[in-house]
């Protein structure tokens, strides 16, 4: 049977794991027109949670009206505007959706007219010129809010994933969203981001443009009590049993990031014969590390010698009290301040992360590669 584990992209359907409380909290607010800010470290399943909520809203009765886009993937404000208009065209309950003859009626509702062409299936694609004026982009966003606000008695939701990238499309956009949200109180605005300091400046900190606008929903690690039965049940259904101790080993080696856990489980399942045992988990870890060994080698060549020595020490698990003179001598640095500079540089791209008040290598496969090379 196909490998039952999934990594490298948001988990949907049967691959979605846990988050029952967070999902219920998000759905209840989406349905009630309450604004939400979802914050989590990178790869903790934020986008998977958003997609699962959208799936359930789409399956509900009445079907919710949802416009959703990833702000980071929009190369400019014209792309952002086009994606929002495309989402508005597909809103449920409108006769125009999927009908070419209703396209002109939809376009007439927009104050700034997009270009329109059609894909091979006859579906319309909307666009705006790369030189779309900021005022025109603001008008498009306002029109999308108005269309969501006019859907009647069904839930209306605007989802902006990786929202921390919004200001690169215009410093004023957070203020515009706040004003439009106030004008359309029954539209639930969901702002999600994985860079805590940037999201805080936009939404959380006192004095932020969107301060007080949204309820906060923070994602932490998925508890082992949810992971263990999921890993075991997925393997059983796919014909290669995996006991609880083996599931716990996967979590020990690859946790707590959901993507990493699914990755190791995938590799262990691939190498297993009739069942997944600890030996297959260890083999799966070696296989995962081998796949990315060239990438890891290239990555560490960009580090300074001091940064690399700090990283190796963290990967070894022997790094205690890292800002002391003793640790600085261990890694060949001048003192605690030099260690701090190295940690700050490594944390910028999440090569190292702080978990349980300790600094660790963020990627368990990179950590394993470093231990192998040490």
pTM: 0.87
Omega before residue 62 within 30° of 0, cis: yes
- CATH entry 1.10.8 includes domain 224-291: yes
Assign domain 19-218 to a CATH class. alpha beta
User: What are the tens digits of pLDDT across the range 313-352?
Assistant: 999 987 888 999 999 999 999 999 999 999 999 998 889 9
**So what's the pLDDT on residue 98?**
47
Reference 214, options 231, 200, 232, 235; nearest CA is: 200
Phi and psi at residue 4, in whole multiples of 5°?
A: -85, 0
Axis crossing angle, helix 258-271 with helix 224-237, rounded to the nearest 10: 30
What pLDDT sits at residue 371? 95
Q: Quick: pLDDT tens for 136-175.
A: 999 999 999 999 999 888 999 999 999 999 999 999 999 9
What's 76's DSSP letter?
Answer: S
Evaluate if residue 300 carries a pLDDT over 60: yes
What is the chain's mean pLDDT, rounded?
Answer: 92
Per-residue pLDDT tens digits for 204-261:
899 999 999 999 999 989 999 999 999 999 999 999 999 999 999 999 999 999 999 9
* Pairwise CA distance, residues 110 & 112, whole Å: 5
The residue extents of the domains of the chain are 19-218, 224-291, 294-373
Say how far apart CA 30 and CA 50 lie, in whole Å. Answer: 11
Greater confidence, 324 or 92? 324
Please say whether the beta carbons of 235 and 242 come within 8 A: yes
- Which numeric CATH code is attached to 294-373? 1.10.10.10
C-beta neighbour count of 196 within 10 angstroms: 15
Position 15 scores a pLDDT of 82
Check: CB of residue 17 under 8 Å from CB of residue 23.
Answer: no
């Amino acid at each position: 049977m196909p490998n039952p584990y999934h990594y490298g992209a948001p988990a949907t359907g049967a691959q979605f794991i846990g988050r029952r409380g967070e999902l219920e909290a998000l759905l209840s607010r989406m349905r009630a027109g309450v604004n939400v800010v979802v914050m989590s470290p990178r790869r903790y399943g934020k986008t998977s949670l958003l997609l699962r909520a959208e799936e359930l809203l789409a399956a509900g009765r009445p079907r919710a009206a949802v416009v959703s886009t990833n702000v980071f993937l929009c190369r400019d404000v014209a792309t952002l505007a086009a994606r929002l208009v495309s989402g508005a065209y597909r809103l449920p309950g409108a006769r125009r959706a999927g009908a070419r003859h209703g396209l002109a009626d939809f376009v007439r509702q927009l104050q700034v007219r997009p270009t329109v062409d059609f894909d091979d299936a006859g579906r319309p694609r909307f666009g705006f010129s790369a030189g779309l004026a900021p005022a025109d982009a603001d008008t498009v966003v306002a029109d999308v809010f108005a269309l969501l606000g006019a859907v009647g008695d069904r839930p209306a939701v605007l989802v902006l994933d990786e929202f921390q990238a919004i200001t690169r499309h215009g410093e004023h956009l957070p203020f515009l969203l706040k004003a439009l949200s106030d004008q359309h109180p029954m539209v639930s605005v969901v702002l999600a981001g994985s860079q805590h300091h940037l999201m805080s400046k936009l939404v959380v900190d006192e004095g932020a443009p969107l301060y007080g606008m949204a309820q906060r929903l923070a994602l932490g690690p998925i508890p082992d009590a949810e992971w263990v039965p999921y890993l075991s049940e997925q393997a059983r259904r796919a014909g290669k049993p995996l006991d609880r101790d083996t599931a716990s080993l996967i979590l020990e080696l690859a946790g707590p990031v959901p993507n990493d856990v699914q990755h190791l489980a995938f590799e262990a399942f691939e190498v297993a014969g009739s069942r997944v045992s600890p030996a297959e988990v260890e083999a799966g870890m070696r296989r995962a590390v081998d796949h990315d060994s060239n990438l890891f080698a290239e990555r560490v060549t960009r580090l300074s010698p001091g940064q690399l020595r700090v990283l190796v020490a963290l990967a070894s698990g022997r790094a205690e009290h890292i800002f002391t003179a003793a640790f600085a001598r261990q890694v060949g640095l001048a003192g605690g301040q030099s260690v701090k500079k190295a940690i700050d540089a490594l944390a910028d791209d999440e090569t190292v992360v702080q978990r349980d008040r300790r600094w660790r290598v963020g990627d368990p496969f990179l950590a394993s590669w470093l231990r192998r090379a040490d």
